[in-house]
Amino acid sequence: MKIFIDSAQIEEIKALEDLGVISGITTNPTLASVTGKKFKDLVSEIFTTLSKDRIINLEVIATDYDTILIQGRALAALDERVVVKIPCIPEGLKACKTLSEEGIRVNITLVFSPMQALLSANAGAYFVSPFVGRLDDIAMDGMETVSEIVKIYRTYDYKTQVLFASVRSVEHIRLAALAGVDIVTSPYKLIMEMYKHPLTDTGLTQFLEDWNNAKEEFIV
Ligand code: G3P
């Protein structure tokens, strides 16, 4: 399962790029707007921060077919790593079909049900983004929704990849991997929590203490 960072903060993106554990990023209009940067400047910083083979999900801010097409083509033309995020509305799925036929990769976002995911796959989506945490927030079962999407896609051999979004905990990421999703997009702090285990810390402290007490010389 691949991991993307869900962020528009360059410092966070750079930190995880340097650690080598992410395959791409997702942004959305909210994440981009809180940076306070001009969108053009932000995007060009993201392009230079990430290496060649990463995926960069950038979202349109239109809701009608013609404008989604214009914005989607413009985003895709910026860089070959771009996947265009489009909301799961009728005009968005229509635009997904058109852009996909042109060879532009589309991520259908704001997906909350298996039926929306089914339509997205039929519209040729490259990624589908179920927002798991937001379903949990309203006392619905986000994991069940994701599991059903994975099952439907596998049953009918859809090529659309499931991109688990709106992650709220490391436990979400574990469950996503067990459910067979293709990618999780997570906030920075949760990815950093994935590294942590108290036994790693105590084990390392012990190793170094024992080594230092023995006063051995290392090979370099
Ligand atoms: O980027 C889309 C999604 O991950 C948003 O998550 O935390 O705003 O529900 P959240």
Task: Give percent of the chain with pLDDT exceeding 70.
Answer: 100
* Residue 216 confidence (pLDDT): 86
**Torsion angle, alpha carbons of 47, 49, 54, 57, to 10:** -50
Ligand 1 atom closest to the CA of 109, numbered from 1: 2
Nearest CA to ligand 1 atom 4: 166
- Which one from 14, 52, 85, 196 is the annotated catalytic residue? 85
Output the average pLDDT for the chain. 98
Burial bucket for residue 42 (CB in 10 Å: 0-12, 13-18, 19+): buried
Q: Which two tokens mark 96?
A: 């997904």
Burial bucket for residue 125 (CB in 10 Å: 0-12, 13-18, 19+): buried
* Residue 137 confidence (pLDDT): 98
User: Which residues, judged by CB distance below 6 Å to any ligand atom, belong to the binding site of ligand 1?
Assistant: 6, 26, 28, 131, 133-134, 165-166, 185
Q: How far does residue 202's CA lie from ligand 1's centre (Å)?
A: 34
How confident is residue 5, by pLDDT bands cut at 50, 70 and 90?
very high
All domains in the chain, ordered by first residue: 2-214 (3.20.20.70)
Q: How far does residue 102's CA lie from ligand 1's centre (Å)?
A: 28
The whole model's pTM is what?
A: 0.96
Q: Which two tokens mark 23?
A: 């395959």
Q: How far does residue 203's CA lie from ligand 1's centre (Å)?
A: 35
Asked whether the predicted pLDDT for residue 194 surpasses 90, the reply is: yes
Q: Is 85 a catalytic residue?
A: yes
